[in-house]
Protein backbone atom coordinates (compact mmCIF):
# COMPACT_ATOMS: atom_id res chain seq x y z
CA UNK A 1 0.00 0.00 0.00
CA UNK A 2 1.34 3.43 -0.98
CA UNK A 3 0.31 6.71 0.64
CA UNK A 4 0.41 10.09 -1.06
CA UNK A 5 0.39 13.19 1.15
CA UNK A 6 -1.32 16.29 -0.31
CA UNK A 7 -2.20 19.76 0.91
CA UNK A 8 -5.89 20.61 1.15
CA UNK A 9 -5.62 22.92 -1.87
CA UNK A 10 -3.92 20.22 -3.97
CA UNK A 11 -6.63 17.72 -3.09
CA UNK A 12 -9.41 20.21 -3.92
CA UNK A 13 -7.98 20.80 -7.40
CA UNK A 14 -7.43 17.08 -8.05
CA UNK A 15 -10.90 16.21 -6.75
CA UNK A 16 -12.45 18.81 -9.09
CA UNK A 17 -10.74 17.10 -12.03
CA UNK A 18 -11.87 13.66 -10.86
CA UNK A 19 -15.48 14.87 -10.48
CA UNK A 20 -15.52 15.66 -14.20
CA UNK A 21 -14.82 11.99 -15.00
CA UNK A 22 -16.61 10.06 -12.25
CA UNK A 23 -20.09 10.21 -10.69
CA UNK A 24 -20.54 11.48 -7.13
CA UNK A 25 -21.32 7.98 -5.90
CA UNK A 26 -17.64 7.06 -6.41
CA UNK A 27 -16.64 9.69 -3.85
CA UNK A 28 -19.46 9.01 -1.40
CA UNK A 29 -18.94 5.26 -0.95
CA UNK A 30 -15.51 4.31 0.33
CA UNK A 31 -15.48 0.79 -1.11
CA UNK A 32 -16.54 2.10 -4.51
CA UNK A 33 -13.78 4.72 -4.44
CA UNK A 34 -11.28 2.01 -3.62
CA UNK A 35 -12.54 -0.19 -6.48
CA UNK A 36 -12.82 2.53 -9.14
CA UNK A 37 -9.97 4.92 -8.28
CA UNK A 38 -7.71 2.54 -6.38
CA UNK A 39 -7.44 4.70 -3.25
CA UNK A 40 -9.27 5.98 -0.19
CA UNK A 41 -9.03 9.45 1.34
CA UNK A 42 -7.95 10.28 4.88
CA UNK A 43 -7.77 13.71 6.52
CA UNK A 44 -5.01 14.05 9.06
CA UNK A 45 -3.72 16.61 11.54
CA UNK A 46 -0.18 16.24 12.74
CA UNK A 47 2.83 18.14 13.98
CA UNK A 48 5.77 19.12 11.83
CA UNK A 49 9.00 20.94 12.58
CA UNK A 50 8.92 24.65 11.82
CA UNK A 51 11.26 26.02 9.17
CA UNK A 52 13.98 28.49 10.16
CA UNK A 53 11.95 31.34 8.65
CA UNK A 54 8.86 30.30 10.63
CA UNK A 55 10.90 30.15 13.84
CA UNK A 56 12.14 33.71 13.40
CA UNK A 57 8.62 35.00 12.68
CA UNK A 58 7.18 32.97 15.56
CA UNK A 59 9.76 34.22 18.07
CA UNK A 60 9.06 37.81 17.12
CA UNK A 61 5.27 37.51 17.54
CA UNK A 62 4.70 34.99 20.34
CA UNK A 63 7.85 35.16 22.45
CA UNK A 64 6.20 36.48 25.61
CA UNK A 65 3.40 33.92 25.44
CA UNK A 66 5.71 30.89 25.28
CA UNK A 67 8.37 32.16 27.67
CA UNK A 68 5.87 31.56 30.47
CA UNK A 69 4.48 28.21 29.24
CA UNK A 70 5.79 24.90 30.57
CA UNK A 71 5.80 23.21 27.16
CA UNK A 72 7.17 26.21 25.28
CA UNK A 73 10.05 24.39 23.58
CA UNK A 74 7.80 21.86 21.85
CA UNK A 75 5.33 24.50 20.65
CA UNK A 76 8.12 26.80 19.57
CA UNK A 77 9.71 24.09 17.38
CA UNK A 78 6.52 22.49 15.99
CA UNK A 79 3.35 23.58 14.24
CA UNK A 80 0.10 21.77 13.45
CA UNK A 81 -0.25 20.66 9.85
CA UNK A 82 -3.51 19.59 8.19
CA UNK A 83 -3.13 17.37 5.15
CA UNK A 84 -4.94 14.83 3.01
CA UNK A 85 -3.56 11.31 2.69
CA UNK A 86 -4.52 9.13 -0.26
CA UNK A 87 -4.02 5.46 0.56
CA UNK A 88 -3.52 3.53 -2.69
CA UNK A 89 -4.30 -0.20 -2.87
CA UNK A 90 -3.40 -0.72 -6.52
CA UNK A 91 0.12 0.07 -7.77
CA UNK A 92 -0.99 0.49 -11.38
CA UNK A 93 -3.66 3.02 -10.42
CA UNK A 94 -1.14 4.78 -8.17
CA UNK A 95 1.29 5.13 -11.09
CA UNK A 96 -1.43 6.39 -13.43
CA UNK A 97 -2.60 8.88 -10.79
CA UNK A 98 0.94 10.26 -10.45
CA UNK A 99 1.32 10.53 -14.21
CA UNK A 100 -2.01 12.26 -14.64
CA UNK A 101 -1.81 14.70 -11.71
CA UNK A 102 1.94 15.28 -11.36
CA UNK A 103 1.61 18.89 -12.53
CA UNK A 104 -0.96 19.68 -9.83
CA UNK A 105 1.03 17.82 -7.18
CA UNK A 106 4.33 19.55 -8.02
CA UNK A 107 2.85 23.03 -8.54
CA UNK A 108 4.22 25.19 -5.70
CA UNK A 109 1.21 27.50 -5.92
CA UNK A 110 -1.09 24.71 -4.66
CA UNK A 111 0.79 24.00 -1.44
CA-wise closest residue to 15 among 107, 76, 105:
105
Does residue 72 sit within a domain? Answer: no
In whole angstroms, give the CA distance from residue 10 to residue 81.
14
Q: What is the pTM of this model?
A: 0.70
7 inside domain:
yes
In a domain, 57, yes or no: no
Q: What pLDDT tens digit does each residue of the chain (111 aa) get?
A: 889 999 889 999 999 999 999 999 999 999 999 999 999 999 988 777 776 666 666 555 555 555 555 556 666 676 777 889 999 999 999 999 999 998 888 876 655
Residue 75 counted as domain residue:
no
Structural domain boundaries, residue 41: 2-48+80-104
Amino acid sequence: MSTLKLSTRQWQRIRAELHKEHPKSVFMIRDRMKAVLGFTVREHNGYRMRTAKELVEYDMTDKELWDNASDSKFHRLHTVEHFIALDFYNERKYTMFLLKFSELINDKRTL
